[in-house]
Structure 1
Amino acid sequence: MDRMSDLGAIFHVKKAGVQYDAHAYTTIDECPYPNLKIKFKGQQTYVKMEQGKGNGDVPCYAKDKAGVIYQVRAGAIPTGTVLFEGGKFTVPMGITVLKINYEDDDSQYVGVTPGSTHTLEIDTTEGNEDIEYDVEVYCNDHRAIWFYTAWRDEPYLGEPDASVYISWSPEINKHVTDSNDYK
């Protein structure tokens, strides 16, 4: 997932006490027409728009020379999955919930801050006679457990993989979390 043109700046609009956010981009490749062109710290930026009132996410409107009305759209929420083996993980912008899977058996959801970076460790330790191994994803930066499962391979073939799938999407963002690690 390459979001190099995402400026990292967020365009804020408040209406009736509610704040709406849209991302500002530095190129029109990621933010093609229709867009709202604004200068941010001397740099030309672009904010996504949708044609027609009620079609965008943010209550901010613009009219082009032909009289067509456009509404600002919040930044697109990305979708993706990675096989993660530990180390640094940066939460994609727009993502507030991550789904953690181990071998497609068990899914758990963790609440996170968009754009935050976490140092994750995947620990596989021997359990007792009923559970061959415990598998845990742990955030060393915030001392938070992101995922835990008891793993037993039938028939027993050895140690578990020290990797998990981390997924994100607009649908996952709506999921109730099992744990939280806000930065």
Structure 2
Amino acid sequence: KLEFTTVAMEAVTLRLSPQMSIACFQREYPMVLLSQKFEFSASHRLHNPKFTEEQNRIAFGKCNNPHGHGHNYEVQVTLKGEPDDNGIVMDVPKFERVVDDTIIKRFDHKNLNLEIAEFRELNPTVENIAMVIYRLLKPVLTKDRAMLHGVTVWETPKTWCEYTEA
């Protein structure tokens, strides 16, 4: 004779495409998370002006190359909100337009150190890139029913940073 234990479902995630997913959590129902991935290519140099050249080489290795180096970044932007009567947290084309206008057009094919004001005094580590993107998106993605929940930036397939505010 088999015995079954009743369990409560915590969450349901639907992957709409490799770039987009939507999740619903039991503890926060009817709040859902809507995520979409975006891409941009950029170069940067990891360098601390307070360090000597030797300290920079030790701290950042080949990423301290004076000529910089590049990455094909992936950025996942996640919104949180209560769906409207149509089951929508935010219109997807509007979501894409806001991220494209605020981040992708601004960062794509740029030298982050030289061409992006936020990184003139801030070392463009993956951690700082995630934080800057979050702070740039927060005022424009905290409207309507949705609010910005988090930003994840992949610098390489093995290196990424997720930024959220508690």
Fold shared per TM-score above 0.5: no
Whose strand proportion is higher, 1 or 2? Answer: 1
TM-score range, shorter chain: under 0.3
Q: Indicate the structure (1 or 2) with the bigger Cα radius of gyration.
A: 1
TM-score by length of 1: 0.25
- How does the TM-score come out when normalised to structure 2? 0.27
Query: Which has the larger helix fraction?
Result: 2
